[in-house]
Amino acid sequence: MFTKILIANRGEIVCRVIRTCRQLGIRTVAVYSTADADAQHVRQADEAYCIGGPTPPESYLRGEAIIEVATRTGAQAIHPGYGFLSENADFADAVESAGIAFIGPKAVSMRKMGSKAGAKDLMAAAGVPVVPGYTGEDQDPDHLHAEADRIGYPLMIKAAHGGGGKGMRIVRESGEFAANLASCQREAKNAFGRDRVLLERYVEKPRHIEIQVFGDDAGNAIHLNERECSAQRRYQKVMEESPSPFLTPQLREEMGAAAVLAAKAINYVNAGTVEFIVGQDGRFYFMEINTRLQVEHPVTEMITGLDLVAWQLQVAAGMPLPLAQAGIGRNGHAIEVRLYAEDPEAGFLPGSGRLERLRLPSPDAHVRVDSGVVEGDTVTIFYDPMIAKLIVHDSDRTRALARMRDALSRCEITGPKSNIAFLERLVRHPVVVEGTIDTGYLDRHLEEFLSPTGPVDTDLLLAAATARLLAQEADSRQRAAQSPDPGSPWAIADGWRLAHGSQRSMAFGHGEQRIEVHASGSNGEYRFEHDGKSHQVAGARRSCSALSLRIGDRARRFEVLDHDAHVVVHDGTRRLRLQPMPMYQHEASGAGAAADNVVAPMPGRVVVVRAAAGDAVTEGQEVMVIEAMKMELSLKAPRDGTVAEVRAATGDFVEADAVLVALEPAP
C-alpha cells in the first residue's frame, strides 16, 4: 500500500480522500491555486503547494505542475478526484510515465470512453443496449441535419467529448435543429476544446439509473448496486438515491449484468459508473461510463457499508478487489442532495461570497455531511459553487426521506444565497415521495419547487417577530446588568416609553416585499398588529434554537436560526427567511436608471459580445454572454433602444453589478 499520495483536486473531494487516507495511515499532499490558499483541503492535508493562479487553466488543469509537486514530495500515487483532470487520458499517461501510480482507470480505457460516439459503438459491439442515433465523424451541418431527420424527433444533440450536462440540446422538430446545433457546438468548443457532436433518439420521460462498477488488474469486474439520479435540472443531478424505487428485482439484475459487461469490454480497472437511460417500459440503454469516482458515491457507501476510496487505493496499489460479486450487500436506503450557493428564484444563478453563517446538521449514524468549506470561508467565482453534500440513511425509503427533511431543516447559510428551501420542497413533492419523477420533470414543472408568491404565512411571521423581540430583551437585560443603574426602565428594551403605549415596530424584507409588524408587551407576552389584524402571542420561550409559544389558543414549536442580517424560522415543514430592515428609510431615487443599463449579475468572464455602440436593439435581445462558475449567462437588453457604449470585451473579467452595456437614455 502507498505511504504518501497527492490529491490533484480541490474542496470537498480532497477532504473526503484525506479522511480515508488518515484511517489507512497514508500521508497526503494537496495542491492549490492562489484563490484557495486558505481553503479547507489545504489546511487538512499533511502538506500543500501552490501551483498557479485562480482559474483552473492556471492551476488545477496544469498537469505538469501537479506531477512536479508529486515527484518533489515523494508521492507514490495521484488521486484525481472528480472534474478537472480526472478523466484526462493524457494526464493519466503522464502520471504513469513519471513512475507514479494513477488512482483511476488506465488511459486506454479513458480514451475508449472519452468519445461518446466511440463508446456507443464499442458498447453496441459488446452487446450492451444502446439508443438509436448517429455517431459518425462527418460533422457537416447539412449531413447532421439529414441524419437527425432520419433518426426522427425528438432527438438529443450531445457533445461527443463532454459531460456534466454541458453541450446538450433537445430538438423536437426539424426546423429547430440548425440553431440548436450551432449553440451546442459553441458550448462544447468552449467547455471541452472540441465541437464534435453525436445525435441520438430522445427517450420521453426517462429514468436515469447508474451502476457503480469496480475492476482490478486481474480482470475481475463487479458492480456495487445502482443509484437513481432521475431528479435533474438541465441534466444536472439534484438528488440521488439507492436503491431505485423504479427498478424491479429482475431489471436490477439485468442492468447490473450489463454494467459489468460494459466494464469488461474495455478492461476497466478501479472505480467507474455505467450510466443508463431507462424508458417507462423498462427498456434501458447505455449512455456513458464515467471513468472516475462520482460525486454521489456516498450513497453507495451508505447502503453497502464499504469505503470506495479505500477500494480505489487498494486496486491502484495492485491488490485484487476486496470482495466478489456475491459479497456485495445492500442495507436500507440512502439519499444525497447537494447544497449550492445559488439562487433558485433567479434561474439558479450561482452565488459567491463569504459564508457569514454556515449551519449544517451534526453527523451521526443516519446523517453524513461531506464539505470542503466551513463558516467564514469564501465561495469564489472560479469554481463550482457546491457548499456541502448531505447524505442520509435509514432502514427504508420513507424513513430516509424523513431523515433528509429533518437534516435540511437544520441547515442555514448566510452570505451567498442557497438552494436549501428548494431542496426542502423537492423532498416533500409527491413525485419524489411516490418515486415517479423522471429526468425532465423539474424542467417542465419548476414553478412547483420554487417559493410560492403572495403573503407570508402568519404563524411563521409571528414566530420570527417573537424571536427578534426575545433576543432584543435578552441583550438589553445583559447590557442593563452591566450599567450603573440596572433598575432603570430606560435601560431595558421592553417597549416601555413615556406616553408611548409600549409599542415596538419592526420591518422585514422578504423578496420584493416589505413587511411591517407592530408589537406591544414583553417577556414572551405580546400583541401584534399586522396587515390590519391583531394576534395574541403568549408563553413564548426560547431554548437554544427552539422557540415555543401560543398563538391564540394554539401552541406551536419552531426552530429559529437568527443572525444580524437574517432571521429564519422553520415549523418542521416550511421555512421563512426574513431580512430585518430599518423601520424608517428614505425613498430611493433614480429607480428608472437600471432600465438604461445591462449589468453583470455576478462576477464572471465575458465570452461573447453581440452588440456595438450605435446598434439598435429590442427588449430581450441578447447583447452579451458571460461565463461564471462553469455556466454561461445570457444578458439581454432591458428595453428597445440604441447602444450608447459597450464597456467590456471578450475575455474580460467583470465584477458583479458592473455596467457592461449602456443604452441611450430613453426619450
| Secondary-structure percent of the chain, ordered helix, strand, coil, rounded to 5 | 30, 35, 40
Q: Is 395 left (phi over 0), alpha (psi -120 to 50) or beta?
A: alpha
pLDDT at position 87 is: 93
Pairing of strands 378-379, 353-354: antiparallel
Question: Comparing 71-75, 239-243, 511-515, which segment has the lowest mean pLDDT?
Answer: 511-515
Residue 562: pLDDT band with limits 50, 70, 90: confident
215 and 293 in a single domain? The answer is: yes
Query: How remote is the C-alpha of 223 from its chain's centroid?
Result: 26
CATH code for the domain in which residue 658 is found: 2.40.50.100
User: In this structure, is residue 381 part of a structural domain?
Assistant: yes
For residue range 614-631, list pLDDT tens digits in order: 999 999 999 999 887 666
Q: Alpha-carbon distance 86 to 164, whole Å?
A: 13
> Among 331, 364, 387, where does a domain finish?
331
pLDDT at position 114 is: 80
Task: Find cell 479505500 and name the residue.
Answer: 310
299 and 353 in a single domain? The answer is: no
The closest of 540, 497, 535, 508 to 519, measured between CA atoms, is: 535
Q: Alpha-carbon distance 268 to 447, whole Å?
A: 42
User: In this structure, is residue 45 part of a structural domain?
Assistant: yes
447 and 423 in a single domain? The answer is: yes
Q: Alpha-carbon distance 84 to 13, whole Å?
A: 12
pLDDT higher at 542 or 476: 542
408 and 350 in a single domain? The answer is: yes
Q: Alpha-carbon distance 69 to 88, whole Å?
A: 18
Contact 341, 377 (CB under 8 A): no
User: In this structure, is residue 490 part of a structural domain?
Assistant: no
pLDDT higher at 628 or 508: 508
Domain count of the fold of the chain: 6
User: In this structure, is residue 501 part of a structural domain?
Assistant: no
262 and 392 in a single domain? The answer is: no
pLDDT at position 498 is: 44
Task: Find cell 442557497 and name the residue.
Answer: 418
625 and 564 in a single domain? The answer is: no
607 and 633 in a single domain? The answer is: yes
Q: Alpha-carbon distance 192 to 633, whole Å?
A: 18
**Alpha helix (H) ranges present in 410-502?**
420-426, 430-433, 441-444, 458-481
Q: Is 499 helix (H, G, I), strand (E, B) or coil?
A: coil
Give the pLDDT mean for 128-147. Answer: 93
User: In this structure, is residue 502 part of a structural domain?
Assistant: no
370 and 262 in a single domain? The answer is: no
User: Kindly report the CA angle at 626 between 625 and 631, in degrees rounded to 5?
Assistant: 105
Q: Alpha-carbon distance 51 to 59, whole Å?
A: 5
612 and 656 in a single domain? The answer is: yes
Give the pLDDT mean for 280-297. Answer: 94
CB atoms inside a 10 Å sphere around CB 267? 15
Residue 163: pLDDT band with limits 50, 70, 90: low
Give the pLDDT mean for 96-113. Answer: 96
Give the pLDDT mean for 512-533. Answer: 93
Element (H, E) at 570: strand 567-570
Give the pLDDT mean for 367-384. Answer: 94
Give the pLDDT mean for 368-374. Answer: 97
pLDDT at position 492 is: 54
pLDDT at position 590 is: 42
Question: Comparing 378-387, 421-430, 578-587, which segment has the lowest mean pLDDT?
Answer: 578-587
The closest of 153, 157, 7, 144 to 73, measured between CA atoms, is: 7
**Alpha helix (H) ranges present in 127-174?**
141-151
pLDDT at position 41 is: 98
Give the pLDDT mean for 278-305. Answer: 95
Q: Is the pLDDT of residue 592 over 50?
A: no
- Write the DSSP assignment of 152-191 as a string of letters: -SSEEEEETT--TT-SEEEE-SGGGHHHHHHHHHHHHHHH
Give the pLDDT mean for 14-35. Answer: 98
Q: Is the pLDDT of residue 438 over 90?
A: yes
Q: Is the pLDDT of residue 495 over 70?
A: no
Q: Alpha-carbon distance 484 to 615, whole Å?
A: 69
Residue type, 149: D
Q: Is 183 helix (H, G, I), strand (E, B) or coil?
A: helix
Contact 410, 420 (CB under 8 A): no
Q: Which residues constitute the domain of residue 638?
A: 594-663
pLDDT at position 164 is: 63
Phi and psi angles of residue 495, each rounded to the nearest 5 degrees, phi first? 90, -5
Give the pLDDT mean for 387-401. Answer: 98
**Strand ranges inside 183-250, DSSP E:** 197-201, 207-215, 221-233, 236-242
pLDDT higher at 424 or 352: 424
Residue 589: pLDDT band with limits 50, 70, 90: very low
Q: Is the pLDDT of residue 587 over 60?
A: no
Q: What is the largest CA-CA distance in the chain?
A: 89
Q: Alpha-carbon distance 372 to 619, whole Å?
A: 41
User: In this structure, is residue 498 part of a structural domain?
Assistant: no
Give the pLDDT mean for 213-219. Answer: 97
Q: Which of 227, 233, 292, 504 is catalytic?
A: 292
Element (H, E) at 113: helix 107-114
Q: Is the pLDDT of residue 484 over 80?
A: no
Query: How remote is the C-alpha of 213 from its chain's centroid?
Result: 24
Read off the C-alpha cell for 29.
499532499
Contact 31, 66 (CB under 8 A): yes
For residue range 229-238, list pLDDT tens digits in order: 999 998 899 9
Read off the C-alpha cell for 191.
467547455
CATH code for the domain in which residue 372 is found: 3.30.470.20
Give the pLDDT mean for 294-306. Answer: 98
Pairing of strands 101-102, 77-79: parallel
Contacts of 56 by beta carbon, 8 Å cutoff, 6+ apart:
84, 382, 383
Contact 385, 325 (CB under 8 A): no
User: In this structure, is residue 70 part of a structural domain?
Assistant: yes
Q: Alpha-carbon distance 248 to 244, whole Å?
A: 9
Question: Comparing 221-230, 322-331, 508-517, which segment has the lowest mean pLDDT?
Answer: 508-517
Give the pLDDT mean for 584-611. Answer: 72
Contacts of 327 by beta carbon, 8 Å cutoff, 6+ apart:
none
Q: Is the pLDDT of residue 421 over 90?
A: yes
217 and 81 in a single domain? The answer is: no
pLDDT higher at 551 or 477: 551
Question: Comparing 5-14, 238-247, 376-385, 389-398, which segment has the lowest mean pLDDT?
Answer: 376-385
pLDDT higher at 495 or 564: 564
520 and 542 in a single domain? The answer is: yes
Q: Alpha-carbon distance 278 to 294, whole Å?
A: 20
For residue range 167-199, list pLDDT tens digits in order: 899 999 999 999 999 999 998 888 788 899 999
Q: Is 660 helix (H, G, I), strand (E, B) or coil?
A: strand
Say which DSSP state 586 is in: P
292 is catalytic: yes
Task: Find cell 468552449 and name the residue.
Answer: 190
Q: Is 356 helix (H, G, I), strand (E, B) or coil?
A: coil
Question: Comparing 97-106, 147-156, 565-574, which segment has the lowest mean pLDDT?
Answer: 565-574
Q: Alpha-carbon distance 340 to 422, whole Å?
A: 11
> Among 306, 331, 356, where does a domain finish?
331
Mean pLDDT of the chain: 91
> Among 331, 366, 393, where does a domain finish?
331
Question: Comparing 118-122, 166-170, 475-479, 657-661, which segment has the lowest mean pLDDT?
Answer: 475-479
pLDDT at position 501 is: 45
Q: Is the pLDDT of residue 549 over 50?
A: yes
Give the pLDDT mean for 472-481. Answer: 81
User: In this structure, is residue 496 part of a structural domain?
Assistant: no
Query: How remote is the C-alpha of 658 from its chain's centroid?
Result: 26
Q: Alpha-carbon distance 575 to 569, whole Å?
A: 6
Read off the C-alpha cell for 512.
420584493
pTM score > 0.85 for this model? no
CATH code for the domain in which residue 139 is found: 3.30.1490.20
Contact 567, 578 (CB under 8 A): yes
612 and 643 in a single domain? The answer is: yes
Q: What percentage of the chain has pLDDT greater than the value 70?
A: 94
Q: Alpha-carbon distance 162 to 116, whole Å?
A: 8
Read off the C-alpha cell for 473.
430583551
Contacts of 155 by beta carbon, 8 Å cutoff, 6+ apart:
133, 148, 170, 171, 199, 200, 201, 202
